[in-house]
Amino acid sequence: MDLTFGGGGHSREVLKKLGKNGRLIVFDQDQDAEANVPDDRRITFVGANFRYLKNYLRYLSIEKVDGILADLGISSHQIDTPKRGFTFQSDTVLDMRMDVRNPVTASRILNEYPVKELTRIFRDYGELGNAASIAAAVDDLRGVRPILTTGTLVEVLRRFIPGKNPSKFMARIYQALRIEVNQEVHALREMLLQTPDWMAAGGRLAVITYHSLEDRLVKNFMRSGNLEGTIQKDFFGKVLTPWRPVNRNVITPSPEEVRDNKRARSAKLRIAERVNGNRKEEHRI
């Protein structure tokens, strides 16, 4: 399974390794992604969020899979299409929806959410220490006129943008809004918790993350089998978890990879193998 099909780059590489009787199930909630599906009988496209993994596997009468890949974050297509509103490099609408059927946009959040909720979003998803002040500034301006474009948002944030590395600050603002619009953290949590029940013994779960919120959840889950990272042991002191970490140390891109693809600079890859047995299986970590 490729849970984040996007432009189809990962899936095309998988298809090269997949036997003639193999099957690849790909998910993407962005309707634009379906145009990238190759003409290959082995591939099945699901136009939905990966949080519905189990629903579609049941619908497709699939009992177990041998591999699950998720490349989190936004796709290059979404970044490179200004009207989608994912980049602050263009003065465009504040949309940020991965699924255009979603009624919640970034501008709706900025104009309608209570100040307390805005503070939570900027603090928890943007990891900004001055989240309350930023939320108050948003509230002040929206009382005068709606915040609909990047330019208007920058006007709100101007006094908060640091002279050093302003792009990093704006990236955090956009990250916070994007996560809330698409409910990315909630979807990731739901997806991870479903994977043990659908992964065959020896199957691999591979997840690429781009910020600490995602990476912390994935790291905890692959280490302990739960999202909190709580290690549970049996009477003999053996760790109870459905996973065996494949890479003890997180895999990051080489300098050469970053040079060729700057968008990969913050990527972190973690891989875990499904151990034998039931959902909670004993093995030593």
User: How many other C-beta atoms lie within 10 A of the C-beta of residue 7?
Assistant: 15
pLDDT tens readout for residues 111-135: 999 999 999 999 999 999 999 999 9
How much is the pLDDT for 11? 97
Report the pLDDT value the prediction gives residue 284, as an integer from 0 to 100: 40
Residue 204's pLDDT is what? Answer: 97
Angle 268-270-271 (CA atoms, 0-180°, nearest 5)?
Answer: 155
In the structure encoding, which two tokens stand for residue 249, read together? 């140390």
Residue 64, both tokens: 């177990």
DSSP-derived secondary structure for 58-97: HHTT---EEEEEEE-S--HHHHT-GGG---TTS--B----
CA gap 256, 243 in Å, rounded: 31
pLDDT of residue 201: 96
Which two tokens mark 216?
């912390």
**Residue ranges per domain, the chain?**
9-76+184-274, 94-182
C-alpha gyration radius of the chain? 20
DSSP states along 250-284: -B---HHHHHH-GGGTT-EEEEEEEPSSSSS-B--
Calculate the CA 59 to chain-centre distance.
24
Task: Please tell me the CATH superfamily of domain 9-76+184-274, with its number.
Answer: Vaccinia Virus protein VP39 (3.40.50.150)
Q: Shortest CA distance to 263 belongs to which of 121, 89, 114? A: 89
CA distance to 12, 78, 115, 237, per residue, from 283 (Å) = 34, 41, 47, 10
Question: Residue 277 — φ and ψ, nearest 5°?
Answer: 100, -160
pLDDT at 120: 98
Q: Three-state SS for 240?
A: strand
Instruction: Read off the pTM.
Output: 0.91
pLDDT in tens, the chain (285 residues): 999 999 999 999 999 999 999 999 999 999 999 999 999 999 999 999 999 999 999 999 999 999 999 999 887 788 777 788 888 877 889 999 999 999 999 999 999 999 999 999 999 999 999 999 999 999 999 999 999 999 999 999 999 999 888 889 999 999 999 999 999 999 999 999 999 999 999 999 999 999 999 999 999 999 999 999 888 888 888 888 999 999 989 999 999 999 998 888 899 999 999 997 554 444 443
| 173: Cβ contacts below 8 Å, ≥ 6 apart | 88, 122, 126, 128, 134, 153, 157
The pLDDT of residue 279 is: 43
Are 106 and 177 a contacting pair, CB within 8 Å?
Answer: yes
Question: Cα(88)–Cα(44) distance, rounded to whole angstroms?
Answer: 34
User: Is the CATH number of domain 94-182 3.30.10.20?
Assistant: no
- For the stretch 68-103, pLDDT in tens is 999 998 877 887 777 888 888 778 899 999 999 999
Structure tokens at 166: 């302003």
- State the burial class of residue 72 (Cβ atoms within 10 Å of its Cβ: 0-12, 13-18, 19+): buried
- Can you give the pLDDT at residue 81? 79
What does the mean pLDDT of the chain come to? 92
